[in-house]
Structure 1
Amino acid sequence: MPTIDVNGTPVHYTVQGSGPALLFVHGTGGDGEAQFGHIREHFSDRYTVVTPDCSGSGRTPLHADELSLDELVEQVVGTARAVTDGPFDIVGFSLGAVVAAAAAARHPELVRRLVVINGWARNDDPRQQLAVDLWRRLPDIDGEAFAAYSALLIFSPAFLAGFGGDGVKATVAGIKAEAHTLRQIELDHRVDISDRLPAITAPTLVIGSTRDALIPVEHAREIHAAVAGSEYAELESGHMVIFEKTAEVVELLGGFLDRD
């Protein structure tokens, strides 16, 4: 796995395929392989697909007690510059969607196309503040409760029910309150890119999920309204739409990214 130094942090990333550069940016609690390994194979026949691991995720170390959005933006952009001298497409999911949007706003000359999946512009909604605050506090109280609550937040009822009783138990058992996840949740709570969105000039596709209990679909609609000329799509899914509706996500991405 190649590494690029970004402001003293060795950022690990994977590269697959050839063609124009396409970055996938993971969300809270994940890494590039875990969240996009099953999706990048659909694009590596025509793109150079890059999946960075942001601070604390995958093989990239967590070097500070607090994450900043700008730090993650520079890690993602630094990774892109390591593989291409030209503009690149960027797809972000969850916190990665926030990072991708912020990168497109800061570096409009570098981003060719932007896709925002289940992202949000700000965390000033009382219901979301309550949900994210509890999500962060639970690991200090009860790790098993954190895992169960996480499953309820990120999966739709229908998708979770499809696991069956034993499957749900196994899924919950696999959710851990690791240090990087907690730092990312804290950043989730602080995020506010609402003043940056008007600076995005790249063609943009915003995808929201109608059964998302973590980031309600209204947040995706707000981003769509704030980014001039953006396109919008909704899927009936929980937050983890990249797993619940993989085929539909791939179809939406291909239809948008592959345009001349």
Structure 2
Amino acid sequence: MPVVPTTDGSVHYEADGHGPGLVLVHGVGGDADKAFGHVVHRFGDDRTVVRPNLSGSGRTTDGGGELTVDLLAGQVAAAARAAADGPVDLFGFSMGGAVAAATAATRPELVRRLVLVGAIADMSGPRARFNFELWRDLAAADFGLFKRFATLQGFSPEVVDGFGHDGLARSLEDEWPPGVARQIDLAARIDIRGLLPRIQAPTLVIGLGGDQMAPVGQSRLLHAGIAGSRLVELDGDGHMDWFVRPDDIVKLTREFLGGGGNGC
């Protein structure tokens, strides 16, 4: 897997396929393979699919200080420029949506189109802060307990039942990246509202109606703040349902990226 240097470290990323660049940006607890390994083949037939590991995931390194959105946006930009020719399309999931939006706002020449799925924009409200503080405390006290809570909160009841007892037990054996605590800390502090009016790229916002981690109000906030953006809400989908049933999101994304204009 290739690595590109940055001012205070290096970015570890994966790249597959050929054609115009599509950069997929993961969220808290994800990495290049865990978050997007199940959909690379859905895009790689006509695109170079680039998946950077943000700080805390993979072998990406940084100065070791507190994570910031600007730091992670710089990592996304570095991987995009190293792996693709010219402007790229950006797809951001969860916290990766905030990072992708910040990348588009601060580096408009780099981003052709932007897709934000189950993304967060402002975690300063009481419920959001309470939620991520609970994540932080559970992860610090008992990471196994945190994983159980994240599973219940992240997937819709239908998907959890669909795992079955054995499948659910296996899902809790998944490895999380070693730097997840730093990512949780950043997620709890995110507020990119001031950047949204600077986004020039045509944007598709996909909200998940059953999302408890990034409630659909976050997607509506993104839509309201990004001029000309399109909002699609998928009723009933939980935050992490996309890992087991990605078809609707893949279809919406491919249609948007393949079309002209902003898809409104």
Contact 2:21 2:85 in 1 (8 A): no
Shift in CA distance, 175/154, structure 1 to aligned 2, threshold 3 Å: farther
Which letter does structure 2 place at the counterpart of 1:10? S
Contact 2:135 2:146 in 1 (8 A): yes
Aligned equivalents of 1:111, 1:73: Cα separation in 2:
12
Contact 2:4 2:82 in 1 (8 A): yes
- Secondary structure, in 3 states, of the residue corresponding to 1:234? strand
Which letter does structure 2 place at the counterpart of 1:182? A
Aligned equivalents of 1:167, 1:241: Cα separation in 2:
15
Query: How many Å apart are 1:147 and its aligned residue?
Result: 1.4
Query: How many Å apart are 1:81 and its aligned residue?
Result: 1.0
Query: How many Å apart are 1:175 and its aligned residue?
Result: 5.5
Query: How many Å apart are 1:62 and its aligned residue?
Result: 5.7
Aligned equivalents of 1:198, 1:241: Cα separation in 2:
30
Aligned equivalents of 1:191, 1:242: Cα separation in 2:
23
Deviates more, 1:110-119 or 1:33-42: 33-42
Deviations 1:167-225 (A, max 9, x none): 2222223365x541110000000001001001001000001111111111111111011
Aligned equivalents of 2:142, 2:83: Cα separation in 1:
42
Deviations 1:97-141 (A, max 9, x none): 110000000011211000011112111221121111101111222
2:13 matched residue in structure 1:
13
Aligned equivalents of 2:244, 2:128: Cα separation in 1:
22
Contact 1:241 1:249 in 2 (8 A): no
Count matched residues: 259
Deviations 1:28-64 (A, max 9, x none): 1011111111212111111111111111212223641
1:232 matched residue in structure 2:
231
Query: How many Å apart are 1:65 and its aligned residue?
Result: 4.2
- Secondary structure, in 3 states, of the residue corresponding to 2:42? coil
TM-score (norm 2): 0.93
Aligned equivalents of 1:19, 1:173: Cα separation in 2:
36
Aligned equivalents of 1:142, 1:15: Cα separation in 2:
35
1:218 matched residue in structure 2:
217
The gaps in structure 2 that reach 5 residues or longer are none
The gaps in structure 1 that reach 5 residues or longer are none
Which letter does structure 1 place at the counterpart of 2:225? A
Aligned equivalents of 1:162, 1:175: Cα separation in 2:
21
| 2:104 corresponds to 1:108 | no
Aligned equivalents of 1:143, 1:187: Cα separation in 2:
18
- Runs (4+) of structure 1 moved beyond 4 Å? none
| 2:214 corresponds to 1:207 | no
**RMSD, matched Cα:** 1.5
Which letter does structure 2 place at the counterpart of 1:231? R
- Secondary structure, in 3 states, of the residue corresponding to 1:13? strand
Deviations 1:132-177 (A, max 9, x none): 110111122222221111112211111111111222222223365x
Which letter does structure 1 place at the counterpart of 2:39? I
2:124 matched residue in structure 1:
124
- Secondary structure, in 3 states, of the residue corresponding to 2:193? coil
Deviations 1:220-239 (A, max 9, x none): 11101111110111123111
Written as runs of structure 1 = structure 2, the 5 A alignment for 1:240-255 is 240-255=240-255
2:192 matched residue in structure 1:
193
Contact 2:124 2:190 in 1 (8 A): no
Contact 1:206 1:220 in 2 (8 A): yes
2:47 matched residue in structure 1:
47
TM-score (norm 1): 0.95
